[in-house]
Structure 1
């Protein structure tokens, strides 16, 4: 789809090899194959699509690869060569066809293909589809197809040795990741050799479908339907909108083609209409350029997260897993996800669900945190990869941008890899060769959406500087990644006032129930070998506690298991509060320019999902359970949001609105004593006009003056809650502001929360009764899958009812047995 003037000009093309009379015949080769290693000491059945690790586990040769230290124990798998074999009948129709193609939708990764003992071809790229002509090689009766896979670890090492002119860093991942080396020399999932949030499982297998396609032809004809175009006025079609900004209507388009009186093409597809622009233009009152997306002519603030592979073994990423994770994103009011460049191009269903749900996708190409070789064969396979992926995905309205790589411009510009000055021009040349001359050039096949060479990047400014800016983190341009684990995350001044925040975040541990299936009792300590093994970020476990200790008392239970579970909880509290503070800072910065910085139009925190059961930056645990951060996201991504912060001992409250229409809102501020559930006082501002798509300050008062008007309150004894309201009542969620660190608060009482469970036609609910103000109230039902309507909340009322949405059959009795309630005061 291309936007043409005031209308939509649609040009649709189908390319299809067809016969002069008969349609092609396809024979799926998916299903049961046999699998053996290099010396045939291991031989077993294997499913296709699938991978070696999954086959070994399914047949009992190995345990769960995620159990305890098995990621290291099973390294031998990726160091061996493996062969997949299947036998199929060569039908008369297949053998009589003049053109027969053997098609592999995905081979992971380096393989030789043999049919009936004859070499058919080779593969070297996980992200490509391969097809080989096998006409004349089929025989009557049984045909034997073999796919011989080389160890990806040894292959990458050999490719590195062959590249002797200069090093292509990094050589190996940090030791803490327990990974494999030279992943940048092989075109496969980069994180499969390990990452700072995931294990090293360099997979091998046929990870997508295999089939034969036969054409009974005198001459293979390529049909190109290029007269087939039409022009529509925008008013004639319903437009696709991101989540929260409108609906996602689609049209069903059926196309039939005839040749010689025979039906040779009959296809139906969904068609969506929308336009996308990336606006980079001068900003009044600021140096630099804007950086925001306009969808259907409307500026949209992107609210969301970053997507990593949902499993180390892609054959286990089921439709249910995808739908659950993406529905969780929508339920947290997200409208965008960035598919990160160190994983995989996701399966078709992922993008179809994003289309349906209105999730905008920033799509990276699969290059991350490394330099890459530029030999001719490497460039050629990358070009084919890009062509195929762009052709496959460009019809999805959800994809709003292509991006060439993750952090590689920044790696060059800020010298991550200690490249000598004299060698720097060679690396810059390679960078431009790969991402600009090839990936960007090939990607121009799709000109309906913007192309970014890297993330983070200064965008148009980087291009002006020869594609590698002197400072790709310059907040006056483009998008920014920002992480800081030692500075106080409650202090908004530590965050860059950027045009667009495409990565930021803090780690936490998953819940105890998520760790249980992959651990044993001796592992249940924050200082255990297991806890150290699962942490792949240098000093990550310590950094979480140091950040938490800035504002919270750390758990001190004498029972070691309770101290462990309490510590898991406090890391989630810390993460949720830190990301909340940073995200709210970005959302309130969308309408302001301060010291030349601001007009922030995107907040995509790192990261949405997990690849295994371990500490990470995710807001959703492996298995789909929401962390406290994800519950917080429901509020800080709300369409109408109150944001409170202090500047110079003055409290400000902003009204943030993503709505298209204007509002009139006031701020209502309640002051509570930590020891009492009745508010000490409540203040309200005047009504203020709030433009749609803006952030506006509507409340300003020195904290000392505010407290002076509220009796005996001090910073140590009281806290604030606030919300927005119009003439008809509350708009958006209620928010809170701590006047001191909770660890310094005075008068905090143990809330002694009691629980009553109930069930009705709508499902399950839990009613809580508290004796005092309770912070970060956390409801957990162990391994009962589902989620609560809200969680991790500040309780300033005596009673609160929370719904529970179960994802499996359960009962009030099971929920009652499983439920635990934890608040901040319960930790000490």
Structure 2
């Protein structure tokens, strides 16, 4: 009998467990699903994403919920036929009954479950799943284990710590408290006499990447291994079989054989080469008849990834090397893509990852307060060439190590390592997110010189036993070729803010001392795996989430409610007031615009400064930059550079431009703040500046550099233009001008006044412009942006729009909406130039394209 698999998607109903009335059962459109999704579909609750409705659905998290369905399976008279129920994800504490018999007690959202049910089946079967309140169970576990562990926590309540559930469900500083429950991943019925559980490979590339040798493995579940065999094979992207071997099955179900490939086609991140993959297959056959009983295949990529941590002039490096190529890992952090994970489609995952490619981002970091991401997410990263940093599912807490907790964590870790290990995109696992910062905050025990794991278990920070002993052990057993990092941030046991080693989370901008984004160059680390600046989403997103016009202004009750960041009122307005003229309190469009330009400017300064520190081989001062965060899980104002509806903020384009394969960077060295206060005369008639070109191209490129000095008041050139031809080093930073001094000589300047000017740099290759940058006097609020004389015109087909101005323009932004796609936004304009932006619309997009700029 060939294995059959039936997914139970329809025919479900659900109800509140303590509501026993006859009409309490509600239809469920499809499974996977979660309680809020079904209650909303049945109009039993208001939309928690709108206004303050989040508060009116808090009761859901304190209730138990029941899902049920009926199913039948085909009868089969063949001996040894088995039937399993497979639950790929239950959220979270669940009691599962089949025909009245308890078959499973689940307690971990992150694990799958397979239950043999052959003896319980009937012609018509009833499956019932009771989901118990994770909130209440978590509080009970706190009480049960309070004598053995102190549950220190940052972010939300401590009841999340002992519960193996996505931690963001308890709320975070960017998301709502929505305690979900339900069959959040597929439920299957499988019948078989034998099946392939997994197929994978471990391999090594030669030093010159011209050959690949390793072992192919499969694991088989069967009671008759002597009568069966497994055909293991590799086929290239043209379906040509390049390796095949028929293998016996070991007594433990393990199958293995060695292989070697000459001149293998390699997998690269986008921009560095092709994303070539091979199909790895395991076919389970009857040895005497070659009848196929089951098969499993997956696409794999062959590549060598190294995490380079070597002593150098700056401390100890931290960057990735793929197939011998050093990679500057510019990218983003990823939070769960929705508060309701069950409703994220593969197409939506791919759309998110396509945004990474469009913005030249190489790496996505899957944050530890969410989930081990969906196969569709990883498939998109493999296909598009995006490197994945995956955190284990721990975040901002001191986690326990009591026996039942560790047993659950081990099953969770091993399952997910096995599921992700064949994806070429996954290049590193980290033990947790910011848990060692919790250790520092609460002064928990930590002695880097203590190397005894058993002593760690008995300390006030027992989670060290998990991160530095158990997880690396399980990684070595399941996926020894992938890098492991004890936590993020982490640097060899040094303080987590140490900029000389490991990765850092640079929250001196926004949090902490609220450093100025203009000082980004002073805030670098060996790898900046978090940093960010908040901004409002575009207006249509705000209007969709706040329905009352009276509440649509900064500082309103609903606007403040929706922004979950602590102290966001003081932090946001401080950064706005330091850099811009503060809009009127009731002017939501103007305030939205300045927050967006604030965020975009932060991205520009940080990405350009830290990419400049990529340096050259042997001097990789900064190995990567990951913004917090790419996305939102609901419509809100946050650090995301793209909102919940996949609408890009101007910061998205600032990152895209800073990560171009060839980019020019320019920074003014003149003082901006004196004694902690803004200097209103720092925008004067002279300045010094540096100019560099950053390249990720693998060959040297001859570049023409042009530097102009443009009066902000008149748009006229105020000093002699500089032109240079430069040979840009491959995969490195090339310093072009250092301490270049310019002094303007306009009539206005001679009269003793100041004539602020922009330093404007353009680089071209063979006459084609490839990048530009502008260094404006800071802060921007002292500049006069009146009378810019901007014109905007559409092409007849409305597929491109041309923008021009007679004087320099800062922060030109088109108002974006869902379904609209622009080639650039949030840009600056120089007189005498035409900015052409490609535009595409789908049926969701607003057909108007309002625009604004600083000072309009």
TM value normalised by structure 1: 0.88
The correspondence of residues 380-459 of structure 1 with structure 2, limited to 5 A, is 380-412=407-439, 414=440, 416-417=441-442, 419=444, 426-427=458-459, 430-444=462-476, 445-458=478-491
Could you tell me which residue of structure 2 aligns to residue 14 of structure 1? none
Conservation of the 8 A alpha-carbon contact between 2:92 and 2:164: yes
- Equivalent in the alignment of 1:823: 853
Deviation at 1:249, TM superposition (A): 1.5
Which of 91, 95, 99 is equivalent to 1:108? Answer: 91
Matches of 2:408 and 2:113, distance apart in 1: 11
| Structure 1 Cα separation of the partners of residues 78 and 297 of structure 2 | 30
Structure 1 residues 180, 72: closer, same or farther in 2, change over 3 A?
farther
1:685 and 1:699 in contact (8 A); partners too: no
Residue of structure 2 equivalent to 1:491: 518
Aligned-partner SS, 1:136:
helix
Task: Verify: 1:695 aligned to 2:739, yes or no.
Answer: no
Structure-1 separation of matches of 2:691 and 2:111: 51
Confirm whether residue 351 of structure 1 aligns to residue 378 of structure 2.
Answer: yes
- Are the structure 2 counterparts of residues 358 and 711 from structure 1 closer, same or farther at C-alpha, using a change threshold of 3 Å? farther
Write the distance in 2 (CA, Å) between the matches of 1:161 and 1:61. 33
Separation of aligned partners in 2, 1:98 and 1:371: 46
The whole-number CA distance in structure 2 between the counterparts of 1:425 and 1:579 is 41
Tell me which of 646, 658, 667 is aligned to 1:624. 646
In the alignment, is the contact (CA less than 8 A) between 1:37 and 1:83 conserved in 2? yes
Of residues 57, 63, 67 in structure 1, which corresponds to 2:50? 67
**1:238 equivalenced with 2:275 (yes/no):** no
Superimposed CA distance per residue, residues 738-796 of structure 1 (whole angstroms, 9 cap, x where no aligned partner): 123221124x3232433322244xx6112234343221011115x45212111111111
**1:489 Cα offset (Å):** 2.6
The match for 2:185 is: 208
Alignment of 1:336-375 (within 5 A): 336-375=363-402
Where 1:451 maps in the other structure, the secondary structure is strand
Match of 2:18 in 1: 39
Cα distance between partner residues in 2 of 1:770 and 1:312: 43
RMSD: 2.7
Q: Report the CA distance shift for 1:709/1:666 in structure 2 as closer, same or farther (over 3 A).
A: farther
Task: Report the Cα offset of residue 96 of structure 1.
Answer: 7.5
- Provide the rounded CA distance (Å) in 1 between the counterparts of 2:301 and 2:15: 46
SS in 2 for 1:72: helix
Alignment partners' CA distance in 2, 1:715 and 1:276: 53
In the alignment, structure 1 residue 513 sits paired with structure 2 residue 540 = yes
Q: Does 1:582 align with 2:606?
A: yes
CA apart distance, 1:276: 0.3
Contact 1:308 1:607 in 2 (8 A): yes
Partner of 1:6: none
1:790 aligns with 2:824: yes
Q: What are the within-5 Å matches in structure 2 for residues 293-692 of structure 1?
A: 293-412=320-439, 414=440, 416-417=441-442, 419=444, 426-427=458-459, 430-444=462-476, 445-458=478-491, 462=492, 469-483=493-507, 484-485=509-510, 486-492=513-519, 495-519=522-546, 520-556=548-584, 560=586, 563-591=587-615, 599-647=621-669, 650-692=688-730
Conservation of the 8 A alpha-carbon contact between 1:765 and 1:801: no
What residue is the counterpart of 1:4 in the other structure?
A: none
Cα 1:384–1:192 change in 2 (3 A) is: same
User: Deviation of residue 700 (structure 1)?
Assistant: 2.8
Q: Does 1:806 align with 2:843?
A: no
Among 125, 128, 150, which residue is 1:146 paired with? 128
Q: Provide closer, same or farther for how the CA distance between residues 668 and 798 of structure 1 changes in structure 2, counting only shifts above 3 A.
A: closer
Contact 2:445 2:459 in 1 (8 A): no
CA distance in 2, matches of 1:94, 1:314: 40
Q: Which moved more, 1:263-272 or 1:547-556?
A: 263-272
1:774 aligns with 2:816: no
- Paired residue for 1:187, among 155, 164, 179? 164
Partner Cα distance (1:493, 1:59) in 2:
50
Cα distance in 1, alignment partners of residues 63 and 281 from structure 2: 48
Following TM superposition, by how much is the alpha carbon of 1:147 offset from its aligned partner in structure 2, in angstroms?
0.5
Pick closer, same or farther for the CA change 1:694–1:108 going to 2, 3 Å. same
Ranked by relative contact order (alpha carbons within 8 Å, sequence separation 6 or more), the top structure is 1
1:497–1:598 contact (8 Å) kept in structure 2? no
Tell me, in whole angstroms, the C-alpha distance in 2 between the residues paired with 1:682 and 1:268. Answer: 64
* Mapped partners of 1:709, 1:169: distance in 2: 66
The equivalent position to 1:725 in structure 2, one of 764, 767, 770, is: 764
CA contact (8 A) 2:400 2:463 kept: no
Q: Report the CA distance between 1:181 and its aligned residue.
A: 4.3
Q: What's the TM-score once normalised by structure 2's chain length?
A: 0.85
Instruction: Tell me: CA distance 1:488–1:254, structure 2 relative to 1, closer, same or farther (3 Å).
Output: closer
Gaps of 5+ in 2: 195-221, 229-248, 448-454, 671-686
**In structure 1, C-alpha distance between the alignment counterparts of 2:112 and 2:665, rounded to whole Å:** 48
Give the Å deviation of 1:91: 3.3
1:113 partner SS:
strand
